[in-house]
Chains A and B, each alone.
Chain A
Amino acid sequence: AQRVTQPEKLLSVFKGAPVELKCNYSYSGSPELFWYVQYSRQRLQLLLRHISRESIKGFTADLNKGETSFHLKKPFAQEEDSAMYYCALTRGFKTIFGAGTRLFVKA
């Protein structure tokens, strides 16, 4: 079965420190993977998708098919990065979300 696992519920880092939010998936085909973010009191929004290989707000994510991972990374965390982050896998028209990781960036 398709599944997205985010092993950390909470990740706390200091401003300026590197951050990595882990995501592992299980999927038998070629996955389409995304990271969504939800800032405080805002709606869920797309952060980035693996097919575009883009960097948004300094975040990048590389799909590692061998390890079935799609970790989200940023070299220098900012306070405004504090939010809930969800890794998601799309199969056809159905998107499966992980449970989310709350990132807290301390001053």
Chain B
Amino acid sequence: GAGVSQTPSNKVTEKGKYVELRCDPISGHTALYWYRQSLGQGPEFLIYFQGTGAADDSGLPNDRFFAVRPEGSVSTLKIQRTERGDSAVYLCASSTRTGRTEAFFGQGTRLTVV
């Protein structure tokens, strides 16, 4: 596809359940980022991948959150034992390289934990 694709666009889950959110970056983009956007806030950095490795996961709020990018393309954000406070829009972005280049965002996955 031409842009960053995120699936699903909406996810409703029960408290305590496990969820996976998928991001398909722009082809050839080596840098991939996950952000979380809570209501009324700007995007908050979660984790950054350069290729297959997580170069910085300092934004992950706790060990219930984990992300992988096994082949350096598609990434999955995994949340265990979801809590109501995890409800937010999860954004993925990709770029050709780090920092100084434009990051292209997906449309986001709206996660609602009930």
Contact = CB atoms under 8 A, between A and B. Distances in A.
Interface of A: 4, 6, 9, 32, 43-46, 49, 51, 86, 88, 90-100
Contacts of A46: 102-103
Given A90-B99, A92-B99, A93-B56, A98 B42 contact: yes
A30 to B, nearest CB: 12
Contact of B48 (A44, A51, A88, A94): A94
Interface of B: 3-4, 31, 33, 35, 40-45, 48, 50, 55-56, 58-59, 91, 93, 98-100, 102-108
Contacts, number: 59
A9 B40 CA distance: 9
Mostly, the B contact residues are loop
B55 A93 contact: yes
Contact of A93 (B41, B44, B48, B105): B48
A4 B98 CA distance: 20
Contact of B45 (A6, A43, A51, A94): A94
Contacts of A100: 41-42
Contacts of A32: 99-100
